[in-house]
Every structure is written in C-alpha cells, then in structure tokens.
Amino acid sequence: MPNFFEASRRHFSDAEYLQNDNRLPNAGQLYGFSAECGIKALIEKTGAKPTKDHAHQLVNLLPTLQIEAQGRLSAQYLAKIDQKKFNAWGTWHTDQRYEAEKDISQMKDFNDWYASAKNVSEVLEEGRIDGVFL
Amino acid sequence: MKKKIEFGDVLDKVADLLIKLLPDNILKDETVVVRDIYNRILILLKFDKNRKKEKQQLINDIENALKELGPYYRGESSVLCACDLYESDIWFKNQDILTFRRNDVEIKLLERQITGQDWLRPKTELHTIPRLAFYSFKGGVGRSTTVAAIAFLLAQSGKKVLVFDFDLESPGLASMLLPIENQPKYGIVDWLVEDSVDNVENHLLQDMAASSRLATNMDGNIKVIPAMGAKTDGERIDPCYLAKLSRIYADIPKQDGRIERFSDRLERLVIESEKSEKPDVVLIDCRAGLHDLSAGSIVRIADESFLFIVDTPQSWQGYRLLFSHWQQFPKEADIIRRNLKVVHALIPPKGHREKPFLDESYRLFQEILYDTISSGDTSQDEKIFWFDRNIEEAPHFPIGILWDEFLSEFDYHKFDNSDTQQKIKSNYDSLFKTVTKILEK
C-alpha cells in the first residue's frame, strides 16, 4: 500500500546522500521520485486518488493537483508549491536510468530539479508539522 | 471517572508534563511546543543525531507521557528532533514562535493555524506615513461613515488623505465617498489576484486610486482605494468579485523562496500605494469581527487603531474575547495595547449614560490589558502599562460619537450641503482632534 509521504521523504534523503557523493544521475532520478511522491501525497489530501501512470510525466502531476486542490486544507499547501521551479521537471525522465551518464544531456538541469524537489519537501514538512501528514 | 480532555486543557497539561520531565535548560533553550492545526501536540527538540541518541530515554518518556492527551495525541513521532527535519531553522527560528507561561516557567509555542495568526504578529517594519485603522467588533456601528467624515475633515485642514476599504467581504466605503461613475477601474481585490500571478503593472496601482469630489476646493485631497473596481463598462459592477475574493487569502511563494503571507501582501499594497500617492495620512476601514483582514489591519499595518464600541453586552463581550487572546502572550500584547483607542459609537442623543461606558471600558482594559501584563521582563517595571480611570489620553478613555439620523443615511452627495458639513464637524470633533494630535506626533 503506497505511503507517498514516507516515500517522498525516503527518496529525498537518499538523493541527498548520493548528491553529497557526487553521484548526480541517480540523485537526480531520486529527486524526481521524491517530488512525484510529494505531489501525490498532496493530491491524496484533496480527497482524490493519484493515478499510477505519472512516474515518467512528472510535470503533469502539478496540473492534476491544481485541479483537485480546493478548500483550505489542500489549497494552503498547493499555493506554496513553486510552479516555476516545478517546470524544471520538463527535462526529467525515468528513461534516463537506462542511459550512460555522458549521454544524459538534461543533467545540466540538475540544480533546478534539486530546487523543486526541495521546495516540495519543505511544503510536505510543513504539512507534517501541521499534523496533516503524520 | 476521569475528566475528558478538551481543547482548552491541552496546553496546560503539556506544559505540566514538560516541566516535570525536562531539565530547565533544555525546556528553555531547546524545546518548542507545536500545536498543530487540530490542536494535537508535537514537541520539537533541538537535538542533533548524537544528542538524540544520548537523550533517547528522555524522548521516549515524553512520547509516553503525551499519550495522556487522548484525542490530542498525534501518535508515534510526537517528538521530533532537529536532525529529523530538513531545515530545522525554519521551525526553531520561526517568526511565529510565541512564549507562554505556566507557573512562571516560559515555554516556546508555535501555533499552527488555518487563519488568525496575525492577531499576534505585531508589525516590525518602520514607516513614515501615519496609518490609522478604524475597527469594530460588530458591524453597523457607523465605522465607515466615520472614516468618510474624518477623511473629509482632514482634507479640509489641508491633508492629503489616502483611504483604504479593507472591508473586502462587505465593501461599501467607496460608494460612500465616490459616485459610481467616478469609482476606479480596479480595487484591492484586483491587485491581490493579479499580484498572485505576477501580473501587476504600474498602471494598476494608479487605476486603483480615485479622487473623491468631497475634497473639491480644499487644500488637501482624498484618494480612495476601494475593495472592488468598477471595471465592466455599462454594468459597472464587477461580476467576478466573489470569484476573486475566494482566492485572495492564499500565501504566495516568492522568487527568493520566501512565502509571502496574506497580511504581508496587504501591507505591501499599502506601502506601494503610499509610494505612488504620497499621502500625509492613511485611513483604513477595517472588516468587523475576528477576521484575518482585521488582524492584518490592526496588528500588522496600522500605527493606531480606533476600536468602535457600542454600549451593548455583545460588543463588550467581543472585545473581552479579543483582549483575552492577546493577554496570554505578554510580549505581543505589550506592543499591541499601546496602539489602541476606544471610540464610543452610536451614542443615543438623549439619556445616554456616558459614565457607565467609561466604567465598563476601564474595567475591560484594567482587567485584561493594563497592569496585569508586564513586558515579560520583571526587572524593567517601568514598562508596565497603567492608567487611571480619568486619564483622557488612555486607550480606554472613550471618544464619543453621537448617533445622528441624518448621518446614518449618509453618502457623498450630501457633503455638498453646508448644514451637513457643520453636522460632521460637531459630531466628529473629538475624534478629529485626537487624530490631529496623533498626526502632530
């Protein structure tokens, strides 16, 4: 049974671990999964059920949340998801895991991926402090 | 049978168990109590990984003790250490941390709320143009009429007055000061929605402020920034107003990663309008009641707030409610209470009992906001805030406004009449004098 909140935290902290060791391609992959799970955790709080086919279309997740978010509980967190930062996921793809490091040209966007994953994590952490995610 | 725990019991119970379990220095310097949005309790301890390991037994003891909170127990992980958080500074250095006292022990408290945080966030930014707020706990007490009258008297005395209608959920000040054909294209709500998508251009600010004809042929002027714009040609009424209003309260992420709160956005609107209009004084017509719009206006934005009170039990009870909230947090209350002034509104023309009003007002302040609060530092006694009953400058000493049938059905076109002007002058004379004194300061 998915626990998107826990999964998002786990992917983020593992990604940080890899990043600190300069293993950026897999760090980038995990930041992506962290953001994906984070947004799905928020989508669940809107009362909607996140679809499964979003892993390779991360950038499509935010519009889903934007449509579902309504009322005070979910809207207060959605408003803090930085949409400009989130657009960075346009160059992220799960298929990058099949490629050689030198061939992943999108790695130039790593810092932007990191910035968005961090933003999502911070919003989730706020939800945790608030008692929305336990 | 054991008494069931209810909302109001939780904080004291938590304080008691922390005082019992935690060494003084850890409680004072390394502990933050969080009340989450359901009033459940989370304890944050400023421990890194090593300290967490070292203090594991203590953490377990707190976790176990918190189970006594019943429905207000968050379950496992009711204690988090700094090392469990991504950015622990966000929480340990949070601007919303308050201090509450239990048996003379000070405990840091972080209130996580859906609304209402601004009632305890006094302003910190300095500004030069005086800002006066007009607030009432209940509506229908002549507050907006008073704002219009004071704007008129100030303009007559040569001041450039900028008036905001912050009563966004029941706007009306603009229609009192401006004929509909003169109302500006945009209002505060337009600025808020456009600003949230970075779509504010210079002209929007200028198109929000309209000159009131009330100040024609006067040395001063009155500019009005209404809640809503009159942008639709022909119709003049904005059909999207409710759709806009329902979206304005969100906090907005900024480019530098900061989150800008609703009240900070309102304050920025005031600052930008001050820059563009360069008034001598800003008047704010607040929303009534315990709303975020009122908290933002009184606590965050205004230098002085006039509290309109009608001599009815519900009005007194309302202010008691608000003051008691402030009273629990002495540091914040000490700032806020210095900027309040009571207005005795709607005084009946005959047989009114001004003395009992003064007594009641004095009792309200004396019991809740006066000497019962020190600044929190008992070594500095001079900070204690105290006035005798008959001190006219004191916050509790009421400025009277008589109820007047003519003025109660008042709008812009009645200002032209010299009888009206005379009536305004006499009815609002004491309040106008107080306002003038504040401006001289």
Q: Over B418-436, what HEC string results?
A: HHHHHHHHHHCHHHHHHHH
Q: Which residue has the tokens 């890899």?
A: A18
Please choose, from the candidates B278, B267, B274, B353, the residue with its C-alpha nearest in 3D space to the C-alpha of residue B312. B353
Options 3.30.450, 3.10.310, 1.20.120, 1.20.950; CATH for A4-130 is 1.20.120
Whole-angstrom Cα distance, residue B365 to residue B397? Answer: 10
CB contact under 8 A, B252 and A81: no
Q: Which residue of B has its CA nearest to A13?
A: B86
Q: Please state, for a pLDDT cut of 90, what percent of chain B lies above it.
A: 69
Identify which of B74, B86, B251 has the shortest CB distance to residue A131.
B74
Q: How far is A131 from chain B (nearest CA, A)?
A: 5
Average pLDDT, chain B: 90
Q: Which amino acid is at B63?
A: E
d(CA B158, CA B140): 30
Please give the share of chain B, as a percent, with pLDDT higher than 70.
Answer: 93
Average pLDDT, chain A: 89
Residues in chain A: 134
**Per-residue pLDDT tens over the stretch B14-44:** 999 999 999 999 999 999 999 999 999 999 9
CB contact under 8 A, A129 and B34: yes
Give the residue among A30, A51, A2 at the shortest CA–CA distance from A118. Answer: A30
Smallest Cα distance from A98 to chain B, Å: 30
Count how many Cα atoms sit within 13 Å of the Cα of residue B404 in the half-sphere of its side chain: 17
Residue A45 has what pLDDT?
84
- Spell B1-28 as b/e; 16+ CB within 10 A means b: eeeeeeeeebbebbbebbeeebeeebbe
Distance of CA A43 to the CA centre of its chain: 12
Q: How far apart are CA B25 and CA B77, in angstroms?
A: 23
Residue B193 predicted with pLDDT over 60: yes
**Res B152 pLDDT > 90:** yes
Angle at B199 between CA B195 and CA B205, to 5 degrees: 70
pLDDT digits (tens, 9 = 90+) for B384-431: 888 999 999 999 999 999 888 777 776 766 777 788 888 889 999 999
CATH class of B119-440: alpha beta
Whether B379 shows a pLDDT value over 70: the answer reads: no
**Looking at residues B182-191, what average pLDDT do you find?**
93
Q: Does B103 touch chain A (CB under 8 A)?
A: no
Q: Is A71 on the interface with B (CB under 8 A)?
A: no
Query: Can you tell me the distance from the alpha carbon of B131 to that of B287, in angstroms, rounded to the nearest whole number?
Result: 16
Of A75, A84, A122, the CB nearest to B87: A122
- Write down the pLDDT at residue A134: 83
Burial class of B234 by CB neighbour count within 10 A (0 to 12, 13 to 18, 19+): exposed
Residues 6 or more apart in contact with residue B14 via CB below 8 angstroms: B33, B41, B43, B66, B69
Per-residue pLDDT at B383 exceeds 60: no
DSSP B53-65: HHTHHHHHHHHHH
Question: Above 70 in pLDDT, residue B381?
Answer: no
Q: What phi and psi, each to the nearest 5 degrees, are found at residue B347?
A: -70, 125
With beta carbons under 8 A apart, name residues in chain B contacting A62: none
What is the predicted pLDDT for the residue at B372? Answer: 55
Q: Percentage of chain A surpassing pLDDT 70?
A: 97
With CA atoms as reference, report the closest residue to B108 among B100, B96, B118.
Answer: B100
CA dist B47 and B41 (Å) reads: 18
Distance to chain B for A80, nearest Cα, Å? 5
Q: Tell me, what's the pLDDT at A48?
A: 80
Q: Are B276 and B162 in contact (CB under 8 A)?
A: no
- Say if residue A6's pLDDT is above 60: yes
Return phi, psi of residue B193, to 5°.
-70, -40
Three-state DSSP state, B140: coil
**Cβ neighbours of A53 (radius 10 Å):** 8
* Residues whose CB is less than 8 angstroms from the CB of residue A121 and which lie 6 or more positions away in sequence, other chains included: A8, A9, A12, A34, A38, B86
Window A:73-102, CB contacts with B under 8 Å:
75-76, 79-82, 84
List the end-to-end C-alpha distance of chain B, in Å, as a whole number.
60
Q: Name the residue of chain A whose CA is nearest to B249's CA.
A: A76
The DSSP call for residue B287 is P
Task: State whether A134 and B75 contact (CB < 8 Å).
Answer: yes
The alpha carbon of residue A88 is apart from the nearest alpha carbon of chain B, in Å, by 14
Q: What is the pLDDT of residues A19-61, one digit of tens each?
A: 999 999 999 999 999 999 999 999 888 878 877 766 667 887 8
The sign of the dihedral angle between the CA atoms of B304, B310, B312, B315 is: negative
**ipTM score here?**
0.82
Q: Which of B40, B87, B114 is opposite residue A72, by nearest beta carbon?
A: B114
Contacts by B113-116 with C-beta closer than 8 Å and gap 24+?
B113/B37, B114/A72, B114/A76, B114/B37, B115/B249, B115/B292, B116/B290, B116/B292, B116/B295
**Is A14's Cβ below 8 Å from some Cβ in B?**
no
CA distance B437 to chain A (A): 42
